[in-house]
Amino acid sequence: MGVQAARVIFPAADRAEIAATADEILSSGILTLGPYTRQFEAAFAAAHSDSGDHAADAPLAVAVSSGTAALEIALRCVGVAGRDVIVPANTFYATAAAALGAGARLVFADIDPATFALSPATLNAALTPQTAAVVLVHIGGLITPDVDELRRICAEHEITLIEDAAHAHGATWAGRFAGSFGSAGAFSFYPTKVVTSGEGGMIVTASPELADEARIYRDQGKGSFTTNHHVRRGYAWRMSELNAVTGLVHLRRMASSIERRREVAARYGDALAGLAGFDALREPAGCRSNFYKYIAVLPPGCDRARFKKELADLHEVRLAGEVYDVPLHQQPALAQFAGPPLPAAEDMCARHVCLPVHSDMTDDEVEQVLAAVTAVYGAMTGA
């Protein structure tokens, strides 16, 4: 048996609960913006509050139709139209698309190879007089330990920090959850994510004003649910009740999924430490990654395509997609925003791989991946 790149896990009991609730939702006729959306919002906020329950310190959460929508709404709420938004070059296209959708111009920034995130130096290098916001992306579920310094730089320049937390459900730095560092955090519930609702997204914020604005934007910019009085340029960014119950049930597995992912990552880290030149991204002190991705960087000159093909062909081990293989400033659709070379992002995009991590991965699968990586890497490099 091979090892798949990713696996979407809904145990039988969860599937049965979702099916029964779907039946109830369909009979009720309340198919969108109803009680399950509100429950999902409350549960997600509680799961991202420092004390871990429905405490007074829980942030506010607004459910929407996708992670891209969550980002665009957050950026619309803080107001970036006609100004610059800084995004790291090594992120998903959606980060940039959301900023463009909110009316901004893109400025691409380089990254710190140790975290795959913006650093104070790369942020400072990208700042323009017209910068309205910075999107910090927690690639692979890792929050950079520079996050407080990045916040300080943003505050100093009166720039809004928004977190793209599409990868970072339940991830923390210094005990603080993703989504609590910027004015808002945008999560994705795309099927491969640590928590999924099928499709969907969530805006997390400590600001009641931003949460109210986000609710207006997600429903066509309407001033209220029942009137056709449009006070903002919103869009059809609602989450359906069927998606909401799917996310609500899946969210209960978040803590145990992250535990298993962390066990797998720890085993990979121990076993691969001895493989010369195979450079796994390390979790800095104080960081608790959710290991949405397990990232390792191959040495210069090591042929990634061949490495992946031999793992698949000779060992039936399929690697997950990179995060990301082509930086945004080299994407044809975004060519007009390409500025100077961004060497660290270009280098990391070209050289890293993502080993399989599933929330129900067996020990045998982990050992199979390790044996395959050791054999293929050893044959290719002599390590």
Q: Which residues sit at the interface with ligand PLP, rule CB under 6 A? A: 66-68, 91-92, 94-95, 137, 164, 166-167, 188, 190, 201
Phi, psi of 264 (to 5 degrees): -60, -45
What is the smallest separation between the CB atom of 164 and ligand PLP, expressed in angstroms?
A: 5
248's tokens: 């609500």
What is the smallest separation between the CB atom of 158 and ligand PLP, expressed in angstroms?
A: 25
What is the smallest separation between the CB atom of 337 and ligand PLP, expressed in angstroms?
A: 17
Choose between 107 and 165: whose C-beta lies nearer to ligand PLP.
165
CB 307 within 8 Å of CB 138:
no
What is the smallest separation between the CB atom of 89 and ligand PLP, expressed in angstroms?
A: 12
Choose between 82 and 191: whose C-beta lies nearer to ligand PLP.
191
Choose between 87 and 249: whose C-beta lies nearer to ligand PLP.
87
Look at residue 382 and give its three-state secondary structure.
coil
Choose between 72 and 84: whose C-beta lies nearer to ligand PLP.
72
Choose between 73 and 369: whose C-beta lies nearer to ligand PLP.
73
What is the smallest separation between the CB atom of 54 and ligand PLP, expressed in angstroms?
A: 26
C-alpha distances out from residue 128 to 12, 105, 154, 176, 333, Å: 52, 11, 12, 29, 22
**CB within 8 A of 161, min separation 6: which ones?**
133, 134, 136, 150, 151, 154, 181, 182, 183
Please name the residue that has the structure tokens 């991965």.
Answer: 361
Cβ-proximal residue to ligand PLP, closest one: 67
345's tokens: 């992002």
What is the smallest separation between the CB atom of 324 and ligand PLP, expressed in angstroms?
A: 8
Region of 200 (left: φ > 0; alpha: ψ -120 to 50; beta: rest) is left
What is the smallest separation between the CB atom of 216 and ligand PLP, expressed in angstroms?
A: 20
Give 373's DSSP letter.
H
| Cα–Cα distance measured from residue 214 to residue 122, given in angstroms and rounded to the nearest whole number | 30
What is the smallest separation between the CB atom of 69 and ligand PLP, expressed in angstroms?
A: 7
| Cα–Cα distance measured from residue 9 to residue 257, given in angstroms and rounded to the nearest whole number | 10
What is the smallest separation between the CB atom of 111 and ligand PLP, expressed in angstroms?
A: 13
Choose between 67 and 247: whose C-beta lies nearer to ligand PLP.
67
| Cα–Cα distance measured from residue 122 to residue 102, given in angstroms and rounded to the nearest whole number | 23
| Cα–Cα distance measured from residue 31 to residue 303, given in angstroms and rounded to the nearest whole number | 49
| Cα–Cα distance measured from residue 68 to residue 80, given in angstroms and rounded to the nearest whole number | 16
C-alpha distances out from residue 312 to 255, 319, 361, 371, 373, Å: 30, 8, 18, 13, 10
Choose between 48 and 167: whose C-beta lies nearer to ligand PLP.
167
Choose between 95 and 122: whose C-beta lies nearer to ligand PLP.
95
Choose between 126 and 239: whose C-beta lies nearer to ligand PLP.
239
